[in-house]
């Protein structure tokens, strides 16, 4: 054998060993974000994929090729690369709806989510985000701290006597709903219905869901729109100092916003701010319960709360997966992502990447770092500041107020594919 064929054979051997290794990885750690076992602890799968196959090709439930990215640098690069655009979910939904024409359609759902920032590209995205972001300015939200503290104190006061609570149902769930409602100007008595709709509507990000589920979500979108239509009519007659009145004013001042966009944005803000913030509080308190020394550290030094929240967001990220579409062929880490292919970026895995965070599986509330719980690039979370403030006040208050103990040995995770959050978090405390 001459030396050239020896090299060729060696390259072939390496390539086939590589292939076998990848197949073994895929088999040992299947990426299935719908599997309850995966939900319990996705981190071993992420770690394995990141080290063995960081650009992981998998078959989606429709049979198409998709890619999963788990390295911090790749995730950040994709989110800041204009060759990757937002998912075409509204269009896909519209296509699906076509098959339903006899019985109904998803038109209201499609009409609503197609105006959500998540699914818009510039210049439409830039215009709508410009109007909405004024309402989420740091100083406006900072000035709400006393009001948010009062809401948290009120919620904890309700369970004080009992000496036990479900952190999700009694604190994490009502808090974002009350705060978003008060920013938008929704009357208090309507909170619980809106919270349920907000919860349900977020499932639109999850796939696969059945046609029946989409029909249900279409109904939810309709209810949201009917509710906000009548509130808009009220505010048009009598404006108040709330976000809804501000959006109505933007509509009449040079048509910066249409009524359709206002309705869609109200549903979006309620829906995306709900489960995400719930998960920050739930996952955050759970991480502290599993790390009693860190819990004690926060108790002793409440001023570390800002870095503590950043670390809790990194350690068990409330949003785990987001997706993009390639609009041209792009090479990443030696693999070619073809135009039209969908790419799933895993924030949960990126935020545990040892190349970015030394000893990433260790929780350290004073760690100084930069992670990606809120995404990156032009779609960076609009509500990041609101979520941070709510998380800081909720978690610091509960930790300073009581000594918490986990009151179950069976935790159940919600079945969303893109989010990571508990159904319930029962605790006891010394009242």
54/318 with CB nearer ligand HEM: 318
Is it true that the peptide bond before 208 is cis, omega within 30 degrees of 0?
yes
CA angle (258, 251, 198) in 5-degree steps: 60
25/272 with CB nearer ligand HEM: 272
Distances (CA, A) of 282 to 57, 76, 104, 245: 32, 26, 38, 32
> How far apart are CB 281 and ligand HEM at their closest, in Å?
8
List interacting residues with ligand HEM (CB under 6 A): 117-118, 129, 180, 268-269, 272-273, 276-277, 280, 318-319, 322, 347, 373-375, 379, 381-383, 386-387
Strand partners for 405: 428
> How far apart are CB 205 and ligand HEM at their closest, in Å?
9
Closest CB to ligand HEM: residue number: 383
Q: Which two tokens stand for residue 320?
A: 């785990």
CA angle (279, 281, 282) in 5-degree steps: 60
- Alpha-carbon torsion (249, 252, 254, 257), positive or negative: positive
Q: Where are the alpha helices (DSSP H) in 137-253?
A: 138-142, 145-159, 167, 174-184, 191-201, 211-237, 243-252
DSSP codes, 269-291: HHHHHHHHHHHHHHHHHHHHHH-
- Alpha-carbon torsion (269, 36, 71, 338), positive or negative: negative
Instruction: Indicate the Cα dihedral angle 295, 298, 300, 302, nearest 10°.
Output: -150
109/268 with CB nearer ligand HEM: 268
- The three-class DSSP label of residue 254 is coil
360/373 with CB nearer ligand HEM: 373
Can you tell me the distance from the alpha carbon of 92 to that of 148, in angstroms, rounded to the nearest whole number? Answer: 39
- Alpha-carbon torsion (420, 426, 430, 431), positive or negative: positive
72/429 with CB nearer ligand HEM: 72
Q: Residue 374: how many CB atoms within 10 A of its CB?
A: 20
250/381 with CB nearer ligand HEM: 381
> How far apart are CB 124 and ligand HEM at their closest, in Å?
11
> How far apart are CB 207 and ligand HEM at their closest, in Å?
14
Q: For the CA atoms of the chain, what is the radius of gyration?
A: 23
248/347 with CB nearer ligand HEM: 347
> How far apart are CB 162 and ligand HEM at their closest, in Å?
27
25/317 with CB nearer ligand HEM: 317
> How far apart are CB 3 and ligand HEM at their closest, in Å?
50
> How far apart are CB 181 and ligand HEM at their closest, in Å?
11
Strand partners for 413: 422
Please count the residues of the chain.
Answer: 431
> How far apart are CB 387 and ligand HEM at their closest, in Å?
3
Q: Give Cβ neighbours of residue 252 (< 8 Å, ≥ 6 apart).
A: none
318/360 with CB nearer ligand HEM: 318
> How far apart are CB 386 and ligand HEM at their closest, in Å?
5
> How far apart are CB 420 and ligand HEM at their closest, in Å?
10
132/298 with CB nearer ligand HEM: 132
């Amino acid at each position: 054998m001459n030396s050239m064929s020896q090299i060729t054979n060696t390259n072939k051997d390496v390539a086939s060993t590589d292939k076998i290794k990848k197949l073994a990885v895929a088999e040992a750690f299947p990426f299935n974000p719908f599997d309850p076992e995966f939900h319990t602890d996705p981190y071993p799968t992420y770690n394995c994929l990141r080290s063995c196959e960081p650009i992981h090709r998998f078959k989606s439930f429709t049979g198409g090729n998709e890619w999963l990215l788990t390295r911090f640098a790749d995730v950040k690069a994709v989110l800041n690369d204009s060759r990757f655009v937002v998912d075409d979910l509204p269009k896909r939904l519209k296509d699906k709806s076509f098959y339903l024409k006899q019985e109904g359609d998803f038109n209201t759902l499609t009409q609503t989510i197609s105006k959500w920032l998540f699914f818009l590209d510039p210049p439409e995205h830039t215009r709508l985000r410009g109007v909405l972001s004024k309402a989420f300015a740091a100083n406006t939200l900072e000035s709400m701290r006393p009001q948010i503290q009062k809401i948290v104190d009120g919620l904890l006061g309700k369970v004080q006597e009992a000496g036990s609570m479900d952190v999700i149902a009694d604190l994490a769930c009502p808090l974002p709903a009350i705060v978003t409602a008060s920013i938008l100007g929704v009357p208090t008595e309507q909170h619980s219905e809106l919270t349920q709709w907000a919860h349900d509507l977020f499932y639109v990000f999850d796939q696969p869901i059945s046609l029946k589920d989409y029909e249900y979500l279409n109904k939810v979108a309709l209810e949201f729109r009917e509710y906000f239509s009548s509130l808009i009519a009220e505010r048009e007659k009598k404006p108040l100092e709330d976000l809804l009145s501000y959006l109505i004013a933007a509509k009449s001042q040079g048509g910066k916003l249409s009524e359709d966009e206002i309705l869609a944005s109200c549903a979006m803000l309620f829906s995306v701010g709900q489960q995400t913030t719930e998960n920050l509080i739930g996952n955050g308190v759970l991480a502290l319960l599993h790390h009693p020394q860190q819990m004690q550290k926060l108790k002793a030094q409440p001023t570390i709360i800002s870095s503590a929240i950043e670390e809790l967001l990194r350690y068990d990220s409330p949003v785990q997966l987001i997706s993009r579409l390639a609009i041209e062929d792009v090479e990443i880490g030696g693999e070619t992502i073809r135009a039209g292919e969908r790419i799933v970026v895993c924030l949960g895995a990126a935020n545990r990447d040892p190349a970015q965070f030394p000893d990433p599986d260790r929780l350290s509330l004073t760690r100084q770092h930069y992670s990606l719980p809120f995404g990156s690039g032009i779609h960076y979370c609009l509500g990041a500041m609101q979520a941070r403030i709510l998380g800081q006040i909720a978690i610091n208050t509960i930790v300073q107020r009581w000594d918490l103990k986990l009151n179950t040995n069976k935790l159940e995770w919600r079945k969303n594919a893109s989010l990571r959050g508990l159904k319930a978090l029962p605790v006891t405390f010394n009242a």
